[in-house]
């Protein structure tokens, strides 16, 4: 029998209700429900009695015995679950109970169909790049962690900017005062990086992203670099303003002046279960409710015709014309009236 680990947001009644329904659906489908003890206790308190046939993770079974994880909540819940199962590794599928839910694969209304597909193994598994994050000070590694979405260096005090220098592959790019710098994966490009003005990067693109936040500089544009590059942010010592490092909004460490944060691609990805093959472009439109009115789409293959002679074709007889002033006599570049050029 398949064991499916159910994660839920114990602080939300909607999530607990969804967990109770998920357990019932899994039992009816012949699967074994596995939960963490704290999630199981939250469900028990909500209904006033313990639900039978649920195994407790770490007591009745281990993470290696589990086939799949179901996360009931928003993107924050998926990030929390990824932190817990990354060592396994265990595929996760998110059921969105939040707002945008970019990491979620299904909505609350699709819960029954989702459980049925998972039990019958009607899904594919997708790898998502993660990053390794190291904090250095005077050649001493203060901390080492990872992130699925991003590592964000932020100013520690609201009233003072943090002075930084950004670096790629051991070469400085620019120095400026700012509110912070986000270093993200393609998965994280639709999260904090997106809010800071960074580009949307398709999840299957191998790249790393660096996005300054409210930088006081002429050149502080988002950068998209090779997945094999090393991105770094150094906190300058010309002021005593400190900073804080946040990884996926969950793990944090204070950064004193002189600290250095290095980000590289991790060799250990996170695995997400996909229930359908909806293109990322369509997910982008649906999640952000983007306007697409007026779109006509590409011509159908059987309706396409070869080009006609209506447009001139430039061949070997191409001529070049030297640049000239628009008012140069003899070259009618602009329409003229009696009062001069229009």
Q: What is the pLDDT of residue 126?
A: 94
Please tell me whether residues 170 and 62 are part of one structural domain: no
From CA 246, how far away is CA 150, in angstroms rounded?
A: 8
Tell me the pTM.
Answer: 0.84
**Beta strands 124-128; 270-274: pairing state:** antiparallel
Range of lowest pLDDT (25-39, 47-61, 172-186, 207-221) = 47-61
What percent of the chain is predicted at pLDDT more than 90? 66
Which residue from 160, 158, 153 is spatially nearest to 136, judged by alpha carbons?
Answer: 153
Residue 311 lies in a domain: no
Q: How do residues 169-222 score in pLDDT, each as one tens digit?
A: 999 999 999 999 999 999 999 999 999 999 999 999 999 999 999 999 988 999
The CATH number of the domain holding residue 30 is 3.40.50.10330
Please tell me whether residues 112 and 229 are part of one structural domain: no
- The tokens describing 119, both together, are 């039990």
Q: Is 67 a catalytic residue?
A: no
Residue 61 lies in a domain: yes
Instruction: For residue 320, give Cα distances in angstroms to 190, 222, 316.
Output: 46, 38, 12
Range of lowest pLDDT (239-243, 252-256, 312-316) = 312-316
Please tell me whether residues 113 and 175 are part of one structural domain: no
pLDDT-derived band at 99 (thresholds 50, 70, 90) equals: confident
Which residue from 70, 33, 29, 69 is spatially nearest to 50, judged by alpha carbons?
Answer: 33
Domain count, the chain: 2
Please tell me whether residues 87 and 181 are part of one structural domain: no
Residue ranges at the known binding site? 75-76, 80, 149-150, 160, 179, 190-195
Q: What is the pLDDT of residue 325?
A: 57
Using the predicted structure, report yes or no on whether residue 28 has a pLDDT greater than 60.
yes
Using the predicted structure, report yes or no on whether residue 92 has a pLDDT greater than 90.
yes
Q: Tell me 207's DSSP state.
A: -
From CA 290, how far away is CA 267, in angstroms rounded?
A: 34
Domain around 51: 3-128
Q: What is the pLDDT of residue 342?
A: 52
**Average pLDDT, stretch 256-263?**
96
Please tell me whether residues 105 and 156 are part of one structural domain: no
> How far, rounded to the nearest angstrom, does the alpha carbon of residue 15 sit from its chain's CA centroid?
23
Q: What is the pLDDT of residue 100?
A: 74
**Average pLDDT, stretch 32-55?**
87
Domain boundary among 265, 297, 313: 265
From CA 37, how far away is CA 59, in angstroms rounded?
A: 9
From CA 302, how far away is CA 305, in angstroms rounded?
A: 9
Residue 27 lies in a domain: yes
Q: Which of 39, 45, 75, 339 is catalytic?
A: 75
Please tell me whether residues 123 and 166 are part of one structural domain: no
């Amino acid at each position: 029998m398949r064991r499916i680990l159910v994660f839920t947001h114990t602080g939300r009644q909607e999530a607990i209700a969804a967990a109770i329904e998920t357990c019932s659906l899994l039992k009816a489908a012949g699967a074994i429900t596995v939960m963490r003890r704290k999630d199981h206790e939250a469900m028990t308190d909500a209904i006033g009695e313990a639900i039978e046939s649920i195994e407790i993770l770490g007591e009745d079974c281990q993470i290696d015995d589990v086939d799949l994880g179901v996360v009931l909540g928003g993107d924050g819940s998926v990030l929390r679950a990824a932190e817990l199962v990354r060592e396994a590794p265990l595929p996760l599928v998110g059921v969105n109970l939040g707002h945008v839910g970019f990491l979620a694969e299904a909505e609350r209304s699709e819960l029954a169909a989702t459980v049925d597909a998972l039990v019958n193994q009607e899904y594919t598994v997708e790898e998502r790049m993660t990053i390794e994050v190291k904090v250095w000070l005077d050649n001493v590694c203060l901390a080492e962690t990872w992130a699925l979405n991003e590592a964000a260096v932020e100013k520690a005090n609201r009233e003072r900017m943090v002075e930084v220098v950004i670096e790629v592959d051991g070469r400085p790019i620019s120095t400026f005062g700012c509110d912070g710098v986000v270093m993200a994966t393609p998965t994280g490009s639709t999260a904090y990086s997106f809010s800071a003005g960074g580009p949307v990067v398709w999840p299957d693109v191998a790249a790393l992203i660096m996005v300054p936040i409210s930088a006081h500089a002429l050149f502080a544009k988002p950068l998209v670099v090779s997945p094999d590059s090393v991105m770094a942010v150094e906190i300058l010592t010309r002021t005593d303003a400190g900073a804080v490092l946040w990884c996926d909004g969950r793990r944090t460490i204070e950064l004193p002046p002189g600290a250095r944060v290095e980000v590289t691609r991790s060799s250990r990805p996170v695995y997400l279960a996909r229930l359908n093959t909806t293109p990322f472009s369509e997910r982008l439109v649906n999640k952000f409710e983007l306007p697409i009115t007026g779109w006509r789409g590409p011509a159908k293959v059987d309706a396409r015709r070869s080009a006609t002679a209506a447009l001139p074709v430039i061949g070997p007889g191409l001529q070049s014309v030297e640049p000239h002033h628009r008012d140069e006599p003899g070259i009618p570049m602009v329409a003229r009236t009696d009062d001069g050029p229009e």
